[in-house]
């Protein structure tokens, strides 16, 4: 059976170069980075070299990069400390954020005297910047938490504009950049965001490792206690092979960014064109069809399928060897619908099945042809 992996927004296949680099580290550099002997110093050097290398990609200081187990932990670290240690009383966010942010904010609102404000959305799912500015002017000690690239519909936030608004109103700015790191360049000297987060498995690196960017002198404090690893932000013996693997994956992603962006963009354009030719009644959710306001890595499609037949769609796609997603992977096992689509689609649209197809440089146009043919056959038969 043919196998097609179009779920790269959920996770990506690791590059062979990354696997080889990690294997080498696991075999040779097994010392505890906190040990003072040569084995420990060798491991420590690898970690700090990776930190410097990663920081350089974002025009940041090495000391501003804190290694974590992934984006979810990084989001939790930042948001919790902002409320607990910085005295944030108001948090401005949107209802289409990743659950790593939404569920954390819900917990914080229950645990602390913090008010949540949800910024309005435009019809295509983009943030209403004018409403954001209005809300900002009505708060005092505020933090804005808005993702850079939405993981379900791909909409891109104007980071620089939001950062300027936050700075003008004395607010902190946190952005979940898990879907954009490795796919877009972010200059943290040019864009005054205070905190960003990343996860290596979104850019062909290993799972279980990521990082938080925490701007110098932010005042954030640790949430995990024990040793003094990561300048006290995250206690625990470092997974050296994962950190080095993440660095390798990020280096390759940014060294090949122009070439791979062009390739994947062409693949997305080809997918849209073929789908519209075969199923002209299909529509695209959010701004996912637009290359200017949505990421080049995914499309979210609402298919012209009767409600009674819709539940079988993902089962049939899986039977045909096609991997895609009806929402974010974090909720794909849930019986609930997409919390993102529920905010931007009407009741009739929500009755039809929506599917997220997300691409990488490992995919081909032949795979697109196969997926379109399977979709056509399912809709028409």
Residues noted as catalytic: 330
**167, burial (CB in 10 Å: exposed 0-12, middle 13-18, buried 19+):** middle
R_g over Cα of the chain: 21
Token representation of residue 7: 């779920």
H helix intervals, 224-300: 240-255, 257-278
C-alpha to C-alpha distance for 19 and 242, rounded to whole angstroms = 10
Task: Give the position of tokens 């899986």.
Answer: 318
Q: What angle do CA 68, 225, 201 make, to 5 degrees?
A: 10
Rounded CA separation 342/186 (Å):
30
The token pair that represents 277 in the structure block: 């030719």
Which letter, b or e, does each residue of 288-310 get, where b requires 16 or more Cβ atoms within 10 Å of its Cβ?
bbeeebbbbbbbbbbbebeeeee
């Amino acid at each position: 059976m043919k196998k097609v992996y179009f779920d790269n927004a959920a996770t990506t296949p690791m590059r062979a170069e990354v696997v080889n680099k990690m294997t080498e580290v696991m075999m040779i550099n097994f010392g505890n980075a906190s040990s003072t002997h040569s084995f420990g110093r060798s491991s420590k050097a690898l970690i700090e070299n990776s930190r410097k290398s990663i920081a350089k990609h974002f025009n940041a200081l090495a000391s501003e990069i804190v290694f974590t187990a992934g984006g979810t932990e990084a989001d939790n670290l930042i948001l919790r400390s902002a409320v607990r240690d910085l005295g944030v009383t108001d948090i401005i966010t949107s209802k289409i954020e990743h659950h790593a942010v939404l569920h954390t904010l819900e917990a914080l609102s229950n645990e602390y005297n913090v008010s949540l404000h949800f910024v309005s959305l435009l019809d295509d799912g983009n943030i209403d910047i004018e409403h954001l500015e209005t809300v900002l002017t009505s708060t005092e000690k505020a933090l804005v938490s808005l993702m850079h690239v939405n993981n379900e519909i791909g909409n891109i936030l104007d980071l620089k504009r939001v950062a300027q608004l936050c700075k003008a109103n004395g607010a902190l700015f946190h952005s979940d950049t898990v879907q954009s790191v490795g796919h877009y360049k972010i200059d943290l000297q040019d864009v005054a965001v205070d905190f960003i987060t990343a996860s290596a498995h979104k850019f062909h690196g290993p799972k279980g490792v990521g990082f938080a960017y925490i701007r110098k002198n932010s005042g954030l404090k640790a949430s995990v206690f024990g040793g003094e690893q990561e300048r006290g932000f995250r206690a625990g013996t470092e997974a050296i092979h994962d950190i080095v693997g993440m660095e390798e994956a990020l280096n390759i992603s940014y060294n090949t960014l122009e070439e791979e962006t062009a390739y994947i963009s062409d693949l997305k354009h080809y997918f849209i064109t073929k789908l519209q030719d075969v199923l002209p009644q299909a529509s695209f959710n959010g701004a996912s069809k637009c290359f200017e306001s949505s990421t080049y890595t995914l499309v979210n499609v609402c298919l012209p399928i009767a409600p009674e037949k819709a539940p079988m769609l993902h089962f049939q796609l899986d039977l045909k060897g096609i991997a895609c997603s009806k929402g974010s992977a974090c909720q794909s096992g849930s019986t609930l619908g997409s919390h993102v689509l529920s905010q931007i689609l009407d009741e009739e649209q929500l009755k039809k099945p929506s599917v997220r197809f997300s691409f990488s440089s490992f995919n081909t146009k032949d795979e697109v042809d196969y997926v379109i043919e399977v979709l056509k056959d399912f809709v028409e038969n």
